[in-house]
Chain A
Amino acid sequence: MAGAAGPGTGPGAARGDGDDSLYPIAVLIDELRNEDVQLRLNSIKKLSTIALALGVERTRTELLPFLTDTIYDEDEVLLALAEQLGNFTGLVGGPDFAHCLLPPLESLATVEETVVRDKAVESLRQISQEHTPVALEAHFVPLVKRLASGDWFTSRTSACGLFSVCYPRASNAVKAEIRQHFRSLCSDDTPMVRRAAASKLGEFAKVLELDSVKSEIVPLFTNLASDEQDSVRLLAVEACVSIAQLLSQDDLEALVMPTLRQAAEDKSWRVRYMVADKFSELQKAVGPKITLNDLIPAFQNLLKDCEAEVRAAAAHKVKELCENLPTEGRETIIMNQILPFIKELVSDTNQHVKSALASVIMGLSTILGKENTIEHLLPLFLAQLKDECPEVRLNIISNLDCVNEVIGIRQLSQSLLPAIVELAEDAKWRVRLAIIEYMPLLAGQLGVEFFDEKLNSLCMAWLVDHVYAIREAATSNLMKLVQKFGTEWAQNTIVPKVLVMANDPNYLHRMTTLFCINALSEACGQEITTKQMLPIVLKMAGDQVANVRFNVAKSLQKIGPILDTDALQEEVKPVLQKLGQDEDMDVKYFAQEAISAVAQRLTKLDFPVKDNEEPSAPGADKNHFLRPRGPGEDTGKFVPLMSRHTESERLGWFPRRQ
């Protein structure tokens, strides 16, 4: 096919007597069926442009019939089409003609790809609002019925999402029909449809009259909640939340609670998991009275469930549950009915359960207050800090701030330290990485003294870790510490240790020094940088390893803005020029980059630089064609680096021309 050849050449080709404005549209229309998915996708995304050009009449009679049959296409095209059609009402002639959009969306609602179907349903819901009540019954409701009684379950699942939008605006006779259709989908043969119905049950219940909810939705809910497939039953739990909000306390007790109790003790762990997972929502929906009578005992059972997944889900909800209890008598309930179960979970056999608990348990301290925290919770925290599983310990450490507010961190420090040290030396580098990230937080909470005494050596040890990610994290950690403790502290404790590493026999450690200087220079300020760091960097320019040398160039570029111009002119420039003559092409390249950056700074300060016979090194630059280019270098013509065209900076990325 020549399909790919013609279109895509752009509107520039349109000349002569033909209508210029038609050409781009013609290209778009042709590209609706281009072999390249990307072009088709682009065309579909500009469908509104095409429709606008065709006018409402031709859009209705020609474009939409064509689109109705394009369901063979790739998912991403169909998804874009489904989305476009949702906003198409204006383009087909307004609400009076909104029903023209139904056929293409109907066929999209039957494709197998869930995302496309869902998008088509979403668009249908949107369009339904634009229908007049008459049109709704004449066109939209029949569509819903067709989908609901379709042969394939894809169409029936799509129908489930449409009942709630047409119900409120339909006449009473039609309403009865809609309810009837929904009922039959709730007892469909295929679990897919029953699942779709179960997930829309709550939404549908909200638009129904209260009597119908009681007489029709509740029985459907009860049926779905006792479906033979646990994948259906677990969705009924979600519906329970919405239904519970609609009913009075008495009705709730009589109609919904038996089912909910049953779900909390379901044979299938997945259903129980769902109850645990939705616990906070359930708790809010049923109100405080039923919570105390029913949910708390159910929750206790979930906390000691035989399946670890359920226990973990329940453990996650401990804090939210406690927070949502009525403040009056909350403490007693937690102390008597929840805490004993939490105590057991601390020594659970499954690490996921323990780490789930560890991620929320600290939050209880704010609810229970200082005394209870020290007496009851602290032992649990300490036990978890000593847990064998690093994730548990990490979760405790990452939530230390909650406790800090209530009792102060000192209470914990005795147990904290060994836990931190152990994590800092964990065999898994991801664990080490995680603990490094908490260091600034810990440092802030523990104070300078404690930090210097116990943790400083750890932070320095990370700088020579054998994993790069750790060394990198350690460097940025130092920067954050300096921001916290100030430059004086840095000058006394950190900087000397970092600078010593410049003489390390391992070149990776020497490079770490440079990375540290990059990170620290800004935090430390000009004086320390110029006096202590710069000499070391300059000295390293003579390193025998090329990687160190070009990192020197990078460092000089980085710290250039902090240094004063004297230092730049007198010390940095000669060294960079020397590196610019280096035999290694990478070193040369980065030296050139640094020189241009430094030169820019010098020119900006209106400090004329003598134009020396610096070879402008376009030759060297050619070797670096793979490197990402800075802006301003994208012309073929290379401009000498030391040129004084300040306006070029103002022009940003514009090519520099003389």
Chain B
Amino acid sequence: MHQPPPASFCSSSSSSGGSSCECARVGVRVSALAPAAAPCPAPRRLPRPRQPEPPSRGTSTLLPARLGPWCSPTGSPAPLSCETGCGEGSWILVCRLLVPTQVSLLSMEEDIDTRKINNSFLRDHSYATEADIISTVEFNHTGELLATGDKGGRVVIFQREQESKNQVHRRGEYNVYSTFQSHEPEFDYLKSLEIEEKINKIRWLPQQNAAYFLLSTNDKTVKLWKVSERDKRPEGYNLKDEEGRLRDPATITTLRVPVLRPMDLMVEATPRRVFANAHTYHINSISVNSDYETYMSADDLRINLWNFEITNQSFNIVDIKPANMEELTEVITAAEFHPHHCNSFVYSSSKGTIRLCDMRASALCDRHSKFFEEPEDPSNRSFFSEIISSISDVKFSHSGRYIMTRDYLTVKVWDLNMENRPIETYQVHDYLRSKLCSLYENDCIFDKFECVWNGSDSVIMTGSYNNFFRMFDRNTKRDVTLEASRENSKPRAILKPRKVCVGGKRRKDEISVDSLDFSKKILHTAWHPSENIIAVAATNNLYIFQDKVN
């Protein structure tokens, strides 16, 4: 069928001596790359090896796939028109990346036998632990880097393979760049509360120098990380010889100043700031302001504004906590800054409403300047109405003109200039409307799906169950359901649109609602800021798809 992937990693560094090696395409195993198992104080250094992986690394990670065109709901192939991309909108799998399991956090010094064992751990999906489940995905501003956070508190950063002329088809491949433990489990002794290490959100900062910076947060604490490269190392000691043996002090007759020599590229992640002790409730969102000096963090009842340089104080800008907690009727579910106007931000609530606030008006933004709400259709009212109208994610379009919200069954696009109803509403999985009762019983109804814009704001994407994710073209009004699953995909295969049977009769290729797997949910997705490359997190797998180039 196909060639096994060349088992090696390739650095993007041009100074590398290993330019001949090929890049691993799938199932990148971070195990061999990960730092020593014992959590050590930062900076954590991640050597990026150039030598080939042990040959035992098999072909089994690659799975057969079928090809299929990008389809419209009517079944006829139709291109997804994207201003940024090319016309032919078929999506192909670029790579599937496994986030390393906890057990495989081994250092390079481990011998090969041990690594084999751990590789087999990775290969077998059933060994994925709860800690490996990806909890957030985010591209940086150029799309060169892609960060994921998981329930085990780790952040894994992938770097895009640099384009080369003879490997055009490889564009869009991402390889592991850096892995570090961002958060550790903690215990709040005053409140007798466990604080999970799960990474709730990652946000990249605009690039300010050669290093990259990102914010990561768990329920309580936001951290600012610096990810930087080092390719030089000082050499030459006065008191030691080349082998590290101590010299006799009597032989020291001249002074040596160390000289910097090139070395293998090292990527190190260093915690630069820790923003703690400002949230009583769980942090659900962080958002970097366009003024480059502040960001906000939102929990269930409050939103705080931080300066990047100051960790010991933050300003509370929204507080919806009632004096009496029994009067609590709604919570904040997500919040985001406007992409260009440093003074305005939105936050969504569990009641399905969105508030736009202007920080110029007053220091405390308790009073909103705009309030977006769609009047409820009385005919659709049911026991679940309130739960399913809760907004799980809110995102500004890149232009700053629109906001997109995701509730349980739909995605809505609002124009900032129209508060009384959304301009567009897309059904994500309306067929679940009849199954709300069972979804309530298995708690799925409380799942928080995220949603993303493409680079030109013309297409939106969001997740569903059974490893399905949905895309909606705002111009052509076409939509598609795709599946991110390892059973049916191989690299460069064109994804086949999926359909869920809604009527009584099930046609060939259709999947019945009853056979959907509700444990496989796609909550987190990301879209490259300028190209048609998407990252889809399915439990512990990260799939990267791109639209097919002719």
Contact = CB atoms under 8 A, between A and B. Distances in A.
A26 B259 contact: no
A47 B238 CA distance: 16
Interface stretch (A246-254, A304-312, A335-343): A304-312
Interface string A58-88: 1000110110010010000000000000000
Contact of A15 (B250, B290, B359, B362): B250
Nearest to A111: B209
Contacts of B292: 153, 190-192
B362 A152 contact: no
A308 B249 CA distance: 69
Interface in A17-50: 17-19, 22-23, 25-27, 29-30, 32-33
A516 to B, nearest CB: 35
A18 B293 contact: no
Contacts of A111: 209
A192 B206 CA distance: 11
Contacts of B360: 230, 267-270
Contact of B293 (A13, A17, A19, A192): A192
Contact of B234 (A16, A33, A152): A33
B363 A62 contact: no
Interface stretch (A1-9, A354-362, A427-435): A1-9
A66 B249 contact: no
A111 B206 CA distance: 14
Given A18-B253, A112-B213, A269 B238 contact: no
B250 A17 contact: yes
A26 B238 contact: yes
A14 interface: yes
A53 interface: yes
A324 to B, nearest CB: 28
A230 B343 contact: yes
Contact of A72 (B230, B237, B259, B290): B230
Contacts of B272: 112-113
Contact of B249 (A13, A25, A113, A267): A13
B252 interface: yes
Contacts of A29: 238, 255-258
Contacts of A152: 207-210
A487 interface: no
Given A229-B342, A269-B361, A66 B257 contact: yes
Interface in B182-235: 206-211, 213, 226, 228, 230, 232, 234
Contacts of A114: 309
Interface string A240-270: 0000000000000000000000000001111
Contact of B257 (A17, A63, A191): A63
Interface in B270-292: 272, 290-292
A320 B106 CA distance: 66
A69 B293 contact: no
Interface in A498-517: none
Contacts of A16: 248-250
Contact of A26 (B213, B252, B342, B363): B252
B246 interface: yes
B210 A307 contact: no
A459 B165 CA distance: 87
A25 to B, nearest CB: 6
A19 B244 CA distance: 22
Contacts of B359: 268, 270
B208 A23 contact: no
B238 A112 contact: no
A517 B542 CA distance: 73
A69 B260 CA distance: 8
B240 A268 contact: no
A631 B341 CA distance: 63
Given A33-B258, A112-B211, A6 B240 contact: yes
B251 interface: yes
A32 B260 CA distance: 13
Given A2-B240, A110-B209, A22 B230 contact: no
B209 A69 contact: no
A54 B240 contact: no
B239 interface: yes
Contact of A269 (B211, B249, B290, B362): B362
A603 interface: no
Contacts of A65: 260
Nearest to A190: B292
Which of B206, B213, B255, B292: most chain A CB closer than 10 A? Answer: B255
Contact of A191 (B248, B253, B254, B291): B291
A231 B359 CA distance: 11
A349 to B, nearest CB: 13
Contacts of B257: 29, 54, 58, 62-63, 66
A231 B342 contact: yes
Contacts of A25: 255
A65 B293 CA distance: 33
Nearest to B254: A22
A154 interface: yes
A63 B256 CA distance: 10
Contacts of A192: 208, 292-293
Contacts of B363: 269, 307-309
Contacts of B209: 110-112, 152, 154-155
Nearest to B243: A2
B446 to A, nearest CB: 38
A153 B210 CA distance: 11
Nearest to B230: A72
Nearest to A14: B249
B390 to A, nearest CB: 32
Contacts of B228: 72
A6 B246 contact: yes
B249 A191 contact: no
Contacts of B252: 14, 18-19, 22-23, 26
Contact of A231 (B208, B244, B291): B291
B255 A6 contact: no
A33 B256 CA distance: 13
A26 B240 CA distance: 10
Contacts of A153: 208, 292
Contacts of B254: 22
B258 A32 contact: yes
Contacts of B248: 16, 18
Contacts of A30: 237-240
Contacts of A63: 257
B260 to A, nearest CB: 5
Given A6-B246, A14-B249, A22 B343 contact: no
B210 A229 contact: no
Nearest to B246: A6
A111 B341 CA distance: 27
A367 to B, nearest CB: 31
Contact of B362 (A2, A53, A231, A307): A307
B262 to A, nearest CB: 11
B44 to A, nearest CB: 14
Contacts of A230: 342-343, 360
A309 B359 CA distance: 13
Contacts of B207: 152
Interface string A630-652: 00000000000000000000000
A352 to B, nearest CB: 10
B343 A268 contact: yes
Which of A16, A110, A231: most chain B CB closer than 10 A? Answer: A231
A521 B277 CA distance: 45
5 shortest interchain CB distances as A-B pairs: A16-B250, A26-B238, A268-B360, A62-B257, A18-B250
18 contacts: A6-B239, A7-B239, A18-B249, A18-B250, A22-B254, A26-B238, A30-B239, A32-B258, A62-B257, A66-B257, A66-B260, A72-B230, A112-B211, A112-B213, A191-B291, A191-B342, A307-B361, A309-B363
Given A30-B240, A113-B272, A228-B341, 11 more contacts: A6-B237, A18-B248, A18-B252, A23-B249, A26-B238, A66-B234, A111-B209, A112-B208, A112-B209, A270-B359, A307-B363
